[in-house]
Amino acid sequence: MAEKLHPVRGMKDLFNEDYNAHEYIISTAKSVAELYGFEGASVPILEHTGVFARTLGEASDVVSKEMYSFLDKSNDSLTMRPEFTAGIMRAFISGGMHHQLPMKLFSNGPLFRYDRPQAGRLRQFHQLNYEFLGADGVYSDAEMLMLAQHTFEALGIAGDFTLELNSLGCKESRTRYQEMLFDYFTQYSNELSEDSKRRLLKNPMRILDSKDNGDKKIVATAPSIESSYSAEAHKYFNDLQNLLSIMNVHYKLNPKLVRGLDYYCHTAFEFTTDKLGAQSAIGGGGRYDGLSKIMGGPEMPSIGFALGIERIALMKRFTTIATRPIFIIPIGDENLEHAATIAANLRTQNIPTMLEHKGKIARRMQNADKARARYVVFIGSDEVASGNYKVKDMDNGQESFMSLEAIGHLK
């Protein structure tokens, strides 16, 4: 007997309502993004491993544990994208798109992270991703956060999340803070969790968002990030908060928010909810002014964020109203050709039309029901001869005879 096939752990098939919910979330988000000048962009799922390994941070969970990397037939190390940002930056640099700046890019699609699957955490998941390349000045930060809030409003989930906001400071303040944290956590190096011992050497800031209870106690009295800000970083963050208040964007300051990826500076944020248990982040992002340079591109201020589609889909039931088709039932093989011409005619008028020519009539009526057909049109020899077709209204059961033209005007 053939081996039983099953999906890869943490990877889901999408059908029916699940598929429709994803499509609805994507199209709603895309039309909101267009209001802010975003255009669609798509980059490959596979990139050279260096694109992610050199940019997301060696100590990040994504690079150290979660990447799907493999050698291809030419012995090149490739990685299935765990996020969009580095791939988009690679595309910007290798495509020489400097003259197109500023660019606002919206993408969506699958990402891959080898993490322990649980509700809201998958190994193949999907994001709505927004990148604003060449985003200079604090208004861009505020506008990105307005865009996120607008998107949640359009999806009807605006009341269910908190925008947690922090500033990681400029490059110099970040380095200063890393040093302060290194000195502080070194005093407790024996008490830290194994993960945090590793982070202490590579990126002490990551210890701040450790989930380990022992670490949390040590983190509680760690030096505050604010004490490391330069005057410039201070001003940037204050200006942003002023703008957000003026624009009516609600936020909560969280000085321990550091983000799981290394490329951020200044503004960093997450959208969290208490509706999804352990996986509380619906999305996150921030400013990544240094990333282009690290990847061999020009100096370029940028900001972006991503929202997890699966997590949004868990927030509420997105019921979409699919258009209801006209269902054509030819009676007898001899009338199939005529019925097929009618179906083709209706479709050229943009009317969704299904035709089923095999099986008992009762069975075909059941399938019309299943397809949520609005009308069923029967095509027998009498109808073909007279050009008047029997039409059944599936909502009230009434039957009448109609010309093809009248069928085309049915609502």
Return the residues of window 130-159 that contact ligand HAM according to CB under 6 A.
131
Nearest-approach distance from CB 306 to ligand HAM, in angstroms: 4
Query: What is the number of the residue whose Cβ is closest to ligand HAM?
Result: 308
The span from the CA of 199 to the CA of 210, in Å, is: 10
Does residue 127 interact with ligand HAM by CB under 6 A? yes
Q: Among the candidate windows 33-41, 126-134, 221-229, 359-367, which touches ligand HAM by CB under 6 A?
A: 126-134
Q: Among the candidate windows 157-165, 224-232, 298-306, 320-328, which touches ligand HAM by CB under 6 A?
A: 298-306
Tell me which of 195, 262, 289, 310 binds ligand HAM, using CB under 6 A.
Answer: 310
Tell me which of 55, 79, 85, 292 binds ligand HAM, using CB under 6 A.
Answer: 85
**Cis amide prior to 223 (ω within 30 degrees):** no
CB 107 within 8 A of CB 129: yes
Does residue 311 interact with ligand HAM by CB under 6 A? yes
Of residues 88 and 329, the one with the C-beta less far from ligand HAM:
88
Output phi, psi for 268, to 5 deg.
-135, 140
Of residues 129 and 151, the one with the C-beta less far from ligand HAM:
129
Nearest-approach distance from CB 382 to ligand HAM, in angstroms: 57
Nearest-approach distance from CB 161 to ligand HAM, in angstroms: 11
* Region class of 166: left (phi > 0), else alpha (psi between -120 and 50), else beta: beta
Does residue 83 interact with ligand HAM by CB under 6 A? yes
Nearest-approach distance from CB 122 to ligand HAM, in angstroms: 4
Tell me which of 52, 106, 188, 305 binds ligand HAM, using CB under 6 A.
Answer: 305
Of residues 200 and 261, the one with the C-beta less far from ligand HAM:
261
Does residue 295 interact with ligand HAM by CB under 6 A? no
Tell me which of 52, 84, 188, 269 binds ligand HAM, using CB under 6 A.
Answer: 84
Task: State the SS3 of the chain.
Answer: CCCCCCCCCCCCCCCHHHHHHHHHHHHHHHHHHHHCCCEECCCCCEEEHHHHHCCCCCCCHHHHHHCEEEECCCCCEEEECCCCHHHHHHHHHHCCCHHHCCEEEEEEEEEECCCCCECCECCEEEEEEEEEECCCCHHHHHHHHHHHHHHHHHHCCHHHCEEEEEECCCHHHHHHHHHHHHHHHHCCCCCCCHHHHHHHHHCHHHHHHCCCHHHHHHHHCCCCHHHHCCHHHHHHHHHHHHHHHHCCCCCEECCCCCCCCCCCEEEEEEEECCCCCCCCEEEEEEECCCHHHHCCCCCCCEEEEEEEHHHHHHHCCCCCCCCCCEEEEECCHHHHHHHHHHHHHHHHCCCCEEECCCCCHHHHHHHHHHCCCCEEEEECHHHHHHCCEEEEECCCCCEEEECHHHHHCCC
Q: Among the candidate windows 14-22, 119-127, 190-198, 248-256, which touches ligand HAM by CB under 6 A?
A: 119-127
Nearest-approach distance from CB 294 to ligand HAM, in angstroms: 14
The span from the CA of 361 to the CA of 368, in Å, is: 10
Q: Which amino acid is at 63?
A: V
Nearest-approach distance from CB 134 to ligand HAM, in angstroms: 14
Nearest-approach distance from CB 71 to ligand HAM, in angstroms: 24
Does residue 290 interact with ligand HAM by CB under 6 A? no
Does residue 379 interact with ligand HAM by CB under 6 A? no
Does residue 115 interact with ligand HAM by CB under 6 A? yes
Q: Among the candidate windows 33-41, 114-122, 139-147, 368-376, which touches ligand HAM by CB under 6 A?
A: 114-122
Return the residues of window 227-286 that contact ligand HAM according to CB under 6 A.
260-261, 281-285
Does residue 122 interact with ligand HAM by CB under 6 A? yes
Nearest-approach distance from CB 66 to ligand HAM, in angstroms: 8
> Which positions touch ligand HAM (CB under 6 A)?
83-85, 113, 115, 121-122, 125, 127, 129, 131, 260-261, 281-285, 288, 304-306, 308, 310-311
